Structure 1
Amino acid sequence: MNTLPNNTLAWVAGSDAPEKNTIDLGFMALTDCAPLVVAATQGFAQPYGLTLNLKRQSSWANLRDKLVSGELDAAHSLYGLIYAVQLGISGSVSTDMAVLMGLNQNGQSINLSKALQDANVTSPEALDQYVHQSRTKLTFAQTFPTGTHAMWLYYWLASQGIHPLNDVNSVVVPPPQMVAHLQAGRIDGCCVGEPWCASAVNQGLGFTLATTQAIWPDHPEKVLGCTREFVEQYPNTARALVMAVLEASRFIEQNDENRRSTAQLLSGSDYLNTPVDCIEPRLMGDYADGLGNHWHDPHAVRFHGAGEVNLPYLSDGMWFMTQFRRWGLLREDPDYLGIATQVQQLKLYSQAAAALGIAVPESAMRSSQLIDGRVWDGSDPTAYAHSFKLHALADAVPTRVSR
């Protein structure tokens, strides 16, 4: 299936050989686990002297606990989960963590329920009006209190003038349970990764109001995460793992046929256990929102982008900390750059990318404009965190968790 570069064997012999050959990899049933599934099952790991054992997890909390305890060596992880564990705000003991590489950008969505659709709450303006006129609070679900979906949901609601902690209720629901919660009427909306928003649309259980790439085009999403102890104890293994996953990421994006075959693979019972027609369209960038609108999204989920996706940018890690501060999850401003420099494994990633002939972006900072017009470039994170009209800087935020 894949053609490895001539210098690959140099990384699996002698002093560069992996210290540990069998890796237990955690993942959640989400489309963006694709690079790990492809790496583990399609022959990308063996040339690097690795066997990857995939371990599907029932919730991000379970994945976090097993990653911290060492039961999992590494995992498909939420960016914000890794940083929350590092900072000691995730519900587990503070542990030094590592981001080995980015796994994907884009590809998440915010859906509203069929009941809101029937009430003609089908636009941001209608939602804003409904929230501020209704006597009862709507309930929105995200997947982990510090995760990407919580941050996208909060950011999007705030950009529409809706305070995500005061004007609505926020609850945590594991990704595969989102559709059932919508169907039962326990939640009015959700932010979650695919294929669960597409599945809800296909089943007539609501509609997609916004994609996360509309909030931040080419935003950071899942990462390959582990403890820093793992990197320090098994540096060659960590580098070989990054190389295998990089190869798989590049393979997925080589052509449309590879994306379609990846969708078929993911639909299997060991992975997403979901019909391929809920996975393939949005993996290909083809969206139907459930309101009769169809489009090809120029910023659909991507896994490689000639390496632009995979670099563990310092500014990406810093952004999540600014949002933790904004919403009261941190009572003081952390050392944004210092912590990101410790967590993001730039040297290890650059070694792996160079061995594969993959270009490494010149800067570990990148500049982006988000939906509210604000530009994030990592240059002044403290000022950025304090610059928002809607925030919760004074208080820590209680969040109900449904396991």
Structure 2
Amino acid sequence: MVDLSRRRLLQAGALAGSAMLLPGMMQAVWAAGSDKPEQQSVRVGFIPLTDCAPVAIATLKGFDKKYGITIVPTKEASWAAVRDKLVAGELDAAHILYGMLYGLELGIAGKPQQMANLMTLNHNGQAITLASELAERGVRNLEGLKKYVGQQAPGSLTFAHTFPTGTHAMWLYYWLASGGIDPFEDVRTVVVPPPQMVMNMRIGNMVGFCVGEPWNARAINDRIGFTAATSQSIWPEHPEKILGTRRAWVEQNPHTARALVCALLEASRWIEASEENRRETARILARRAWLNTKEQYLTGRMLGEYDNGIGKRWRDPHPIRFFSDGAVSYPYLSDGMWFLTQFRRWGMLKSAPDYAAIAQRINQTAIWQDAALAVGGMSAPSPPLRSSTLMDGTVWNGTDPEGYASRFAIHRKGA
């Protein structure tokens, strides 16, 4: 099974490499027919988080118009709302949690749906916040939390994430388990929409949460919590939000899909072109139409400047990234497969999936390739895998995914 997965991945990489060797042919194909977008108006859902930035910038800077479409951004209240509207066709595409899209494909995040990942929108930029009351009791890191949890009745402490198969759930589970805390036996976890995290911690509904910015910075500003870990300290340069849609929509609107990716690639490149562009992005996102918050909650971490709220300040070597010469946006197959390994680890999948096949049908590497050629200055990796070392020293490189999924000491019973 492992050898078959590896072979499929290498074949996919070879195809991507071949496309890069024939840019003239690709452009000639477009010229021979019509590459005009099938839809001129594209409804894109988003949750008010810092990492929706490419959607905002593509819309407000006119990158969508450059490629013949008009993005209609739609602000949503929860990830469940994004899921429901995307599946129902009320949204054409969305800023969405990586693991949520894969969960939809597999029927563990809702009714099974054929989904598509057009590109990765960002790396890094999430965090785990613990309540200030824990700091007052001497809990300032994972080791201290392990000791404190051991003093409580199992399940008496509540932690929140944003969606059961989402990225924040996976970061929270991984972090807790790396410290010897079973996220299903030792503590209780609940789902809370991102904009409601701070309020729920303020009234004592949980002692910790994992969410995207600016809500971790907001908890520090409101003096109700501190940053115990950044998501990039769990997995440096981890994939986070993606541009998700239905596979049927891509099949019916291939030119529109490519134009949408082009617009967001241009926006991502613009954000990272200078520090001033990042600052302007923070000012834009603070507006009512987007995050409706104070600019000060956004700017610091947008620039990679961190303060954990209990005396530590640093410039993070892995700040939130949107472009990095296109490397952020490429939909690596190994990134999607990692979420499958965690679904297996935590008992969400009862049998081993075909990791490679699932990633290949969801991650639209060919559309990314076409868009990258149109925008320019980017090339696809071959094969579509990358290697990463996580906080506990485990190395993930997309090979032997089932072996990787079963290697963890703490896992869900029956997984």
Normalising by the residue count of structure 2, what TM-score does the alignment of the two structures yield?
0.91
Aligned to 1:120: 138
Partner residue, 2:275: 256
Q: Distance in 1 between matches of 2:92 and 2:153?
A: 48
Contact 1:12 / 1:49 at 8 angstroms: preserved in 2? no
Aligned partners of 1:12 and 1:73: how far apart in 2?
26
Corresponding residue for 1:189? 208
Pair 1:139–1:21, CA change in 2 (3 A): same
| Structure 1 gaps, min length 5 | 1-6, 396-403
Q: 2:226 aligns with which of 207, 213, 222?
A: 207
Corresponding residue to 1:305 among 324, 329, 343: 324
Residues paired across the two proteins, number: 387
- How is 1:44-193 mapped onto 2 (pairs within 5 angstroms)? 44-90=63-109, 92-135=110-153, 137-193=156-212
> Within 1, Cα distance between the matches of 2:159 and 2:383?
37
What is the CA distance between 1:138 and its match in structure 2? 1.1
**Contact 1:11/1:48 (CA < 8 Å) preserved in 2?**
no
Query: Quick check: 49-58 or 119-128, which moved more?
Result: 119-128
Contact 1:11 1:17 in 2 (8 A): no
Q: Distance in 1 between matches of 2:388 and 2:63?
A: 33
Give the Å deviation of 1:360. 2.2
Decide whether aligned partners of structure 1 residues 255 and 386 sit closer, same or farther in structure 2, where only a CA change above 3 A counts: same
**Runs of at least 4 residues off by over 6 Å:** 10-13
Match of 2:15 in 1: none
Letter in 1 for 2:374: A
Distance 1:305 1:12, change over 3 A: farther
- The whole-number CA distance in structure 2 between the counterparts of 1:13 and 1:273 is 46
2:288 paired residue among 248, 269, 288: 269
Deviation at 1:11, TM superposition (A): 7.0
2:395 is equivalent to residue 369 of structure 1: no
- Aligned-residue offset at 1:154: 0.2
Structure 2: how far apart are the matches of 1:15 and 1:105?
34
Give distance in 2, aligned partners of 1:245 and 1:65. Answer: 23
CA distance in 2, matches of 1:206, 1:218: 25
Structure 2 residue matching 1:45: 3-state secondary structure: helix
Alignment of 1:347-358 (within 5 A): 347-357=366-376, 358=378
Counterpart residue type for residue 374 of structure 1: T
Cα distance in 2, alignment partners of residues 144 and 12 from structure 1: 43
The equivalent of 2:407 in structure 1 is 387
TM-score (normalised: structure 1): 0.94
* 8 Å CA contact 1:12, 1:48 repeated in 2: no
2:358 and 2:151 mapped to 1: Cα distance?
42
Matches of residues 303-342 of structure 1 in structure 2 within 5 Å? 303-342=322-361
What is the deviation of 1:119? 1.1
Residue 26 of structure 1 and its aligned partner are, at CA, apart by: 0.2
Query: What is the distance in 1 between the residues matched to 2:406 and 2:142?
Result: 25
The residue aligned with 1:346 is 365
- The sequence identity of aligned pairs, in percent, is 53
In structure 2, C-alpha distance between the alignment counterparts of 1:159 and 1:125, rounded to whole Å: 10
CA distances 1:155-207 after superposition (whole Å, capped 9, x unpaired): 01000000011100000000000000111111100000000000000111110
Residue 398 of structure 2 aligns with an amino acid whose one-letter code is G
Match of 1:16, SS state, is coil
Counterpart amino acid of 2:119? M
Alignment RMSD (CA, Å): 1.5
Report the secondary structure of 2:325's partner residue: helix
**How far apart in 1 are the matches of 2:153 and 2:260?**
52
**CA distance in structure 2 between the aligned counterparts of 1:135 and 1:234, rounded to whole angstroms:** 53
SS in 1 for 2:34: helix
Q: 2:103 is aligned with what amino acid?
A: A
**Distance apart, 1:124 and its partner CA:** 1.4
1:17 maps to which residue? 36
SS at the partner of 1:308?
A: coil
**Paired AA for residue 287 in structure 1:** Y
Describe the superposition over 1:350-396 as per-residue Cα deviations: whole angstroms up to 9, x where unpaired.
Answer: 1110222222223310000000100000110011111110001516x
Partners of 1:133 and 1:183 in 2: how far apart?
A: 23
Aligned counterparts of 1:181 and 1:114: Cα–Cα separation in 2: 13
Residues 245, 11 of structure 1: CA spacing in aligned structure 2 closer, same or farther, 3 A cutoff? Answer: farther
Q: Where does residue 60 of structure 2 map in the other structure?
A: 41
Structure 2 letter corresponding to 1:361 = P
Residue 304 of structure 2 corresponds to: 285
Q: Structure 2 counterpart of 1:375, which letter?
A: V
